[in-house]
Each structure stands twice: as C-alpha cells, then as structure tokens.
Amino acid sequence: MYRVLVTDDEITVMKGIQFHLQESNRYIVHTASDKPTALNLLDTNEFDLLVSDLMFPEVEDGLEVIRMAKKQWYTPAVLAMSAFDTVENAVATMQAGADDFVSKGFGVEELSIRIENLLQKSAALRKLEVENQILKETIQHQFSNFQIIGQSRQMEHLLRKIHKLASDARATCLIQGESGTGKDLVARTIHRLSERKNAPFVPINCAAIPENLIESELFGHERGAFTGAYTAKQGKFEQANGGVVFLDEISELPTHMQVRLLRVLEERNFYRLGGKSPIEVDVMILAASNRDLEKQVLNQKFREDLFFRLNVIKIWIPPLRDRREDILPLAKFFLDKFNQERNKKVLFSRESLAVLEQYDFPGNVRELRNIVEDAFVFCDGNVIRPENLFTVKGAAMRDAKVPGDTTTVQKSLYELPFNEAKKEFERRYLTKVLDRGRWNIKRAAELAGISREWIGKKAKQYGLMKAR
C-alpha cells in the first residue's frame, strides 16, 4: 500500500481526498490541516506521496511544506494544488520541488490519474537511481588502480583461468583462498573482462547482512510483505540483471537462504518476499569463501547440493607465502600507487625489500598493502628502511633477518633452534597485534589485515590473555 500525506487548511477538501483515496484500499492516508502538523508528519513518517494545498493558508506556507518534503531522505512525489490557477503559482511550486500541479475543482477521476502517474514515475526514478549508483560504483572499481599483480607460475595459471571464465560469462564459479588473497579483486576482474562489463557488478557480503534481512536484501520484497515494508524494493539479484552477482563469504549464508539460492541457480528466477510472480534474471554468479566448503559440507554446515552447484568452476588463489616471487612486484606496485596519490617519490631500500621478501604474510596481499602504506607514511625522508616496517608488525618485522646482514634488532631469535624461533616469532607478533587492537580479536584482525580465525587460533595456542 502507498502512504500518502494530504495537507489543506480547508477541512472539507482534505477529508474528501482522504475518503476517496481510502476507498481503493491501496492507500494509507494521513492528513494535516496546519503547517506545524504537516512538517512534523513529514519528519516522523515515510510517505510515497504528498498532496499539498499551495495556500496553506499563504503561498509561502505551502511552498515551505513542499520544500521540506523534498528534503526528506525518502523524497516523496509531490502533487501541489491551488484554487488560484496561475502561471506564477505553477512556476513557484515546480521551483520548490513539486512534481505536478493541479487546480482545485478537479474531479476525483482526474485526481486518481494524476496520483497514479506520479507514483509510477517516482518508482521508476528510484529504480533508475539504484541502477545508476551500482553502475557508478562498478565503473569506479573497473578503472581503479588496483589490478592483479604477479609473475609467479601460480598467478600466470590463475590469470589464464580468469580470462577463460570471463570469455564464457555464463558459468558459476567458486573462488577460494585465505583471507586477504584478493577474492573480491578476482571477481571484479572476471566482470571487467567479460561481455557483462557494461552491466552492474553487485557484491554481497553474506556475513554482514542480518539474518532477518538477508532474504529481502537478496531477492527484494513487495509492499506490505512485513511490518515497515511501505514500498516495494528490488533485491540485489534484480539490480544485477545482465551483470554479475558476487556472493562473498558464502559459507555464512543461513541454511534457509541456501535453499533459496539453490533454486535461483537451477531455475534462474526467484520470488520477491511477499511476491506472487517469479522474476526472471540473467546473471553470472560468483561466490567466494575463505573456509573449506567441503569440510563445511561434511560437518553439515553447508548444503551439499548447493556446494556442487557453486563449484562448477573452481578458482583457488594461492597464499602469498607460497608465491614469494610476487611479494616484491606487489610491494612496488603499492608504493607506486601511494607515490602517485600523494605526489611523492618514496623508494624501498635494498634491506627493506629483503625483509619483506622473507616475511610469511599470514594476512596475505591485504597485509602487505597495509605494511607498505604504514611505512610510506612514517618513513623519514624518501627511503623506506627496515626499521620503518616495524611500526605495523612490531617484533614480527624486527626479527626478520636481512640476507647477508649479521646485525638484527633482536639476535636472540636467531640463536634459537628453528622451530622454537618460529614459535617465539609468532608469539611476539600476536602480542603486538592484539595490543594494538586493545585485545579485541576482531579489531586486531582488521588492523593487521589477518583473519579473525587465524588470530583466535594462534592466541589460544600461545595462551595469550589480556594483560591485567
């Protein structure tokens, strides 16, 4: 149902419009016979349409109500009416933001037609705004400075697979890899290289949407489908029609939504929440997870049939520690990007590159980017030296030995047997990261670009507890 506000200081006219609209059972109508009441209703409700008298009781009062309506976040359509049908009044209402103007003395049929046309136009404009925003974000990502960087054999193989998949632009694909390896970037690259590049790329973080809202977010809802659903809403799949849907952290999708998604994959249609007619969509579906979905299936935490439908084509992104020849090209790429953005000419010293090349990067490419940016900001002069890498990783980077260099900040680690040194290295590193995150695992993971699971597991392993 549509929510309408009718404002008029002529009570008879106002009540007549209210009665006429409510007869159709398609409108919830609120009324206001004075300006303060009208302004309060606009601030405290969400309306699809405002029908406002221009002389309320003066022209400036009516114009103020119209302007206030157009300032609301929900931007209702506005139909202005006046007993004084003049060009000046019509121009003033349009300048204030009214979408249509009608002179009093109208018949109820004319009023109904005007209102219906306004509501249809308003719905079409909102749909267009959503689509434009999605396209704008897509284009921004397509032409951003980020790209897949790597010279290892693993990355060459990955790029060949991406190009093949993009040339098909139909098959469903499951992208897997540790946190920070660049699953989102791979998905966007597939979209950018495919014939769908001019249609929307719609990312959905399945872990970030509350369970009670996820069905509406993915598939939309009809007006009145639940309390507060005052207007119909397109879901992400409908918004992505013709383009690509990227389901990130798919392992976190609730079980009941896994069933719904399976239907979409099989039939390429869905129902809006509260809807009665199927909506056909043409989308390429990419899904990603940093969890082992096969284990999730075995543990009955993820549907086996959905796993097989998603796993038509599988892309595995290797962790950075398994392709060390990509570390320095990535580090230099990030440094060039920061130099360009800040109009600087910062360089790596040979020793700092050696330190980076040796480090394992549990947070993968995201962690490397964070380290480079932190060193870029805090280095003295225009050269990043090993000590500049300490500010993010603390003991982790301090204890990384430069090849050919016998002097380290903490030589004690190198006097230990390898396995003991590795454990001590991880313990010191975790202590520093957790301290920076105020011993909140989620905050520490975000700051360091490392998965919460990795930090939680290691913190438990080393018995790290918050200092008291």
Summarize pLDDT for 22-38 with one digit per residue, the tens. 888 889 999 999 999 99
Q: Which amino acid is at 42?
A: L
Mean per-residue pLDDT of the chain:
84
Region(s) of the chain under CATH 3.40.50.2300: 2-124
Region(s) of the chain under CATH 1.10.8.60: 322-461
Distance CA 171, CA 193 (A): 14
- Looking at domain 150-318, its CATH superfamily turns out to be P-loop containing nucleotide triphosphate hydrolases (3.40.50.300)
In the prediction, which pLDDT does 142 show?
43
Q: CA quadruple 93, 99, 101, 102: dihedral positive or negative?
A: negative
Quick one: pLDDT band at residue 135, thresholds 50, 70, 90?
low
On the question of pLDDT at 316 being above 90, the answer is yes
In the prediction, which pLDDT does 390 show?
58
- The arithmetic mean of pLDDT across residues 142-156, rounded, is 72
Helix/strand/coil for 181? coil
In the prediction, which pLDDT does 134 show?
56
| pLDDT tens sequence across 197-213 | 999 999 999 988 888 88
Quick one: pLDDT band at residue 308, thresholds 50, 70, 90?
very high
Quick one: pLDDT band at residue 323, thresholds 50, 70, 90?
very high
Distance CA 376, CA 106 (A): 69
Fold classification of 322-461 is Helicase, Ruva Protein; domain 3 (1.10.8)
- The arithmetic mean of pLDDT across residues 250-260, rounded, is 92
In the prediction, which pLDDT does 403 show?
44
| Percent share of the chain, pLDDT over 70 | 88
| pLDDT tens sequence across 54-77 | 888 888 899 999 999 998 877 899
Would you state the torsion angle of the CA atoms of residues 386, 389, 391, 392, taken in this order, to the nearest 10 degrees?
-160
The residue among 451, 151, 154, 183 whose CA lies nearest residue 327 is 151
| pLDDT tens sequence across 376-420 | 988 888 999 888 885 544 444 444 544 444 333 344 455 567 677
Fold classification of 2-124 is Rossmann fold (3.40.50)
Residues with Cβ within 8 Å of 130's Cβ and at least 6 positions away in sequence, in order, are 234, 239
Q: Which of residues 162 and 45 earns the better pLDDT score?
A: 162
In the prediction, which pLDDT does 123 show?
78
In the prediction, which pLDDT does 293 show?
92
Region(s) of the chain under CATH 3.40.50.300: 150-318
